[in-house]
Amino acid sequence: MKYNISCGKILIDDTSEFLPKHILECGQVFRYLNSVSGYKIFSKKSFCSLIYVPGYVTIDSKDADYFVKYFDLERDYGDIKRRLSGYPLMNEAIGYGYGVRILNQDPFETILSFIVSANNNIPRIKAIIERMCRAKGEPLEEGYAFPVPDALRTANAEFFKEIGAGYRAQYIVNTVGAINEGFDLELGSMPLKDARKHLMTLSGVGRKVADCILLFGYHRSDVFPVDTWIEKIYPKLGGEPGKNAVYIADKLSEEYGDLAGYAQQYLYYYARENL
């Protein structure tokens, strides 16, 4: 999409393909805060403030280049929406969340965040992650960085229970341990099924969390993460009622191909707000 960078600010004057509310509140990211005029966003060790007035967005950051990639600004979402427009319920979903984009997030951050997300609700997920960053992340001018794996070496299950992770505490300890012991986070051009299987060897990472990691942390757009909301909406897409999440995920990723991840985000946002 079109954008300009001047004095470290990214200027966007077409909100038909970039609407902060749609991007941030479609459940893909947890480290953002509402402020008076926009949002404050943390990713890895970078920070930006995002100011929105009707028709215009300004992204202000010392790491402008990082956020060009983060917000996926080089991709043409108009084209994606056109290609999706023939699918069931998609015109309604895109009409509702027309400004959605899929962020390019840090793999490690995405892995821990979505382990926390399992069987949990979004406000609580955000709070747990924020407490972890505050306790173990590098201090920044505006807040705290997401902790690097090494910074969590000494964090035990007690720590993760104290910040509210509940029974997921041990999963996080196990996964951080595996990564610190050399678990390979570079998926390169690994085939989808191999990449998914690799991630699912991590504690607390099942099919759905693995697919979220692949989509949000590696931009593998050929996965279709299926959660309770997608399960609810599946029959409205013409699917057979009563199927389990893995069946639905296989079916939909096949049906949408390389557009699966994008389709999923529009449908998820629509389902969550309208069902």
Partner DNA sequence: CACCAGGTCTCTC
Partner DNA sequence: GAGAGACATGGT
Q: Can you spell out the DSSP letters for 193-204?
A: HHHHHHHTTSTT
* 225 forms part of the interface with DNA (CB under 7 A): yes
Shortest Å distance, C-beta 159 to DNA: 12
Element (H, E) at 103: none
* 234 forms part of the interface with DNA (CB under 7 A): no
Q: What DSSP character marks residue 9?
A: E
Alpha-carbon separation of residue 12 from 46, 81, 96, 99 (angstroms): 20, 19, 20, 12
Site string for DNA, 79-118 (x = CB under 7 A): --------------------------------------xx
* 241 forms part of the interface with DNA (CB under 7 A): no
* 161 forms part of the interface with DNA (CB under 7 A): yes
* 195 forms part of the interface with DNA (CB under 7 A): no
* Number of chain positions touching DNA (CB under 7 A): 41
- In the list 21, 198, 207, 236, the residue contacting DNA (rule: CB under 7 A) is 207
Closest CB to DNA among 61 and 218?
Answer: 218
Stretch that binds DNA, among 86-94, 133-141, 184-192, 225-233 (CB under 7 A): 225-233
Closest CB to DNA among 51 and 206?
Answer: 206
* 252 forms part of the interface with DNA (CB under 7 A): no
Tokens of 41: 């966003």
- In the list 53, 78, 122, 257, the residue contacting DNA (rule: CB under 7 A) is 122
Query: Is the CB of residue 268 less than 8 Å from the CB of residue 27?
Result: yes
Tokens of 66: 């990082």
* One-letter amino acid of 261: G
* One-letter amino acid of 25: E
* 164 forms part of the interface with DNA (CB under 7 A): yes
List, by residue number, the catalytic residues: 208
- In the list 15, 46, 61, 265, the residue contacting DNA (rule: CB under 7 A) is 265
Closest CB to DNA among 10 and 271?
Answer: 271
- In the list 73, 129, 212, 252, the residue contacting DNA (rule: CB under 7 A) is 212
Number of C-beta neighbours around residue 17 at 10 A: 21
Alpha-carbon separation of residue 246 from 8, 84, 210, 227, 272 (angstroms): 44, 22, 12, 10, 20
Element (H, E) at 172: helix 169-180
Residues 6+ apart with CB under 8 A from 232: 271, 275
Residues 6+ apart with CB under 8 A from 69: 104
Residue 46's SS3 state is strand
Site string for DNA, 8-47 (x = CB under 7 A): ------------------xxx-------------------
- In the list 263, 264, 266, 270, the residue contacting DNA (rule: CB under 7 A) is 264
Shortest Å distance, C-beta 231 to DNA: 8
Residue 49's SS3 state is strand
Contact residues: DNA, CB under 7 A: 26-28, 117-125, 161, 164, 166-167, 171, 200, 202-210, 212, 225-230, 244-246, 264-265, 268, 272
